[in-house]
Amino acid sequence: MNANHKRRVFLKGSVAAGTIGVAASAGLLAPAAVMAEWPANAFSARKVPDALDNLLGSNATEASDKIKIKAPEIAENGAVVPITIESGIDGTESIALLAAANGTPLVATFTMGEGAKAYAATRIKLGKTGDVIAVCKAGGKMYSARTGVKVTIGGCGG
């Protein structure tokens, strides 16, 4: 009986501690809100036009050969696909990187600050063979380029 009572007390104590934990993590999350808000609805969109709509307010893009995407033609490992994007368009403000065949196509967005070149390189996951799309925003207009990447082993799920 006594032991059972102690167990109750312990349970109560741990519940209280849990509440404090939640409060603390909520506090930790607050500074993130100060930075540019993470566009959750754009990142969770399942189709390329939806993702662009949610991110940039429009999905009307103009194909441009001034945007260069460097990507492997065949990616042996879809979990690590190196991508380099370089835009030759004057005044490129931001670059969005999308993988058309991924469940959630929007992978990353880059915003250029003062003095930054329209250049970004990273490594992304590709679920299956598909296009890698780069959308550059410059002077209120959107330009896009795409390149196909063949994936032999997918990098999403497992």
Name the site residues for another protein (rule: CB under 8 A). Answer: 25, 28-29, 31-32, 35-36, 38-39, 43, 79-82, 84, 99, 102-104, 106-117, 119-125, 155-158
Find the shortest distance in angstroms from Cβ 35 to another protein.
6
- Cβ proximity to another protein: between 15 and 35 the closer is 35
Find the shortest distance in angstroms from Cβ 64 to another protein.
20
Element (H, E) at 93: strand 92-99
Q: Tell me the DSSP string of 134-156.
A: EEEEETTEEEEEEEEEEESS--S
Find the shortest distance in angstroms from Cβ 73 to another protein.
18
Element (H, E) at 10: helix 2-34
Tell how strand 141-151 and strand 74-75 pair up.
parallel
- Cβ proximity to another protein: between 100 and 150 the closer is 100
